[in-house]
């Protein structure tokens, strides 16, 4: 028998930690039972579309990864697919953790903090998993090592005399360790912004999660110094469109538009966090398109076989580090948040 809808509350009827900027109504009550939390995804609350805008993409990506692994025509444990497993785990974990956080965030103040700490950790995990996929599937296919394909204008400026093999070799040696350190640092910064209070928490979280995007700089360099748009239009278009979606998502996440303009009107449908979810989904969808293309090229002529240590091993170690970060900040919550 379905549970009757729980009465919704206004912003001044819930704990301060529950209140979202410019969202005046549609709040669920604190200590809502788990079954009622699940039932609320079918009720018009201010969290309902936060759940659905990530649950539907989660279902879509599960089906896309299933088709991608099937199309590879390789056993699932094949070394060539290890980076894809890392990437798939990052994408799916991010959407699944976000759904969980938005559904069960009203169980208690402590669980709310724990879920969002885990949400930040999953985003960092996804960012590192993306770097693993870049390193193995996209980097070998770039033409930075071949000055002959550089645009004529840049050749006339003497850029062809730059020692690209040395630069790219240094990048290849450092990219995963640096991305690993960034993933841990970003999680610490975001957990700290929630645990200790921060004047501009959304700006801080948006900035720190933008930092790992710099790991894709060889693709950007390829587009600036070489004819990437003509040689690989899918990568060129999807790469820059992904970054456009991310900029739009960051705009909504920081500005709190449209609810900032008319508080109360977008409490249930159309507030900035829902738009943030939609545009982050679009960015990951475009990213998956060029990761898929990179995988196809890699399988045709793999330069070297990925190792378990350099892929899954990194992900397992990162999981331990992120788990330690979340546990540390959860233990440090104030007594008021222990309820």
Q: Closest by alpha carbon to 215, among 156, 299, 129?
A: 129
Determine the length of the chain: 339
d(CA 130, CA 123): 11
Query: 29 — phi, psi (to 5°)?
Result: -80, 155
> For position 153, what pLDDT does the model report?
61
Tens-level pLDDT at each residue, the chain (339 residues) = 455 667 899 999 999 888 999 999 999 999 999 999 999 999 999 999 999 999 999 999 999 999 999 988 888 889 999 999 999 999 999 999 999 999 999 999 889 989 989 999 999 999 999 999 999 999 888 776 565 666 666 666 665 566 666 767 787 788 899 999 999 998 998 888 876 666 667 677 777 767 667 777 888 878 877 778 888 889 999 999 999 999 999 899 889 999 999 999 999 999 999 999 999 999 999 999 999 999 999 998 877 889 999 999 999 999 999 999 999 988 877 544 444
Residue 279 and residue 252 in contact, taking contact as beta carbons nearer than 8 Å? yes
| Locus of tokens 């998956």 | 288
Say what the pTM is: 0.90
Query: 302 — phi, psi (to 5°)?
Result: -65, 125
Q: Copy the structure tokens of residue 320.
A: 């331990």
Question: Between the CA of residue 190 and those of 118, 146, 153, 252, what are the distances in Å?
Answer: 10, 40, 43, 18
């Amino acid at each position: 028998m379905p549970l009757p809808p729980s009465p919704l509350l206004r912003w001044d009827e819930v704990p301060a930690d529950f209140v979202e900027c410019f969202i005046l109504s549609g709040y669920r009550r604190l200590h809502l039972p788990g079954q009622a939390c699940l039932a609320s995804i079918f009720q018009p609350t201010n969290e309902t579309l936060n759940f659905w805008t990530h649950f539907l993409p989660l279902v879509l990506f599960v089906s896309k990864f299933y088709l991608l692994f099937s199309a590879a025509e390789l056993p699932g444990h094949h070394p060539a697919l290890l980076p894809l497993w890392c990437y798939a785990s990052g994408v799916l974990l991010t959407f699944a953790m976000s759904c969980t956080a938005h559904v069960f965030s009203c169980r208690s103040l402590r669980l709310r903090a724990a879920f969002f700490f885990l949400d930040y950790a999953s985003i960092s995990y996804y960012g590192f998993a993306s770097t693993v996929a870049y390193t193995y599937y996209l980097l070998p296919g770039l033409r930075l090592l071949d000055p002959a394909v550089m645009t004529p204008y840049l050749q006339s400026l003497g850029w062809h005399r730059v020692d690209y093999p040395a630069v790219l070799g240094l990048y290849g040696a450092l990219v995963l360790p640096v991305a690993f350190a960034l993933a841990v640092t970003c999680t610490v910064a975001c957990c700290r912004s929630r645990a200790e209070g921060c004047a501009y928490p959304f700006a801080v979280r948006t900035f720190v999660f933008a930092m790992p995007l710099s790991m894709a700089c060889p693709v950007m360099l390829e587009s600036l110094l070489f004819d990437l748009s003509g040689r690989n239009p899918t990568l060129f278009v999807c790469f820059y469109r992904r970054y456009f979606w991310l900029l739009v998502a960051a705009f909504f996440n920081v500005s709190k538009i449209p609810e900032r303009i008319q508080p109360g009107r977008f409490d249930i449908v159309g507030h900035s966090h829902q738009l943030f979810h939609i545009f982050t989904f679009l960015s990951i969808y475009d990213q998956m398109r060029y990761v898929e293309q990179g995988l196809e090229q890699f399988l045709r002529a793999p330069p070297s076989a990925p190792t378990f240590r350099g892929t899954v091993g990194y992900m397992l170690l990162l999981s331990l580090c992120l788990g330690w970060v979340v546990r540390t900040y959860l233990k440090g919550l104030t007594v008021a948040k222990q309820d």
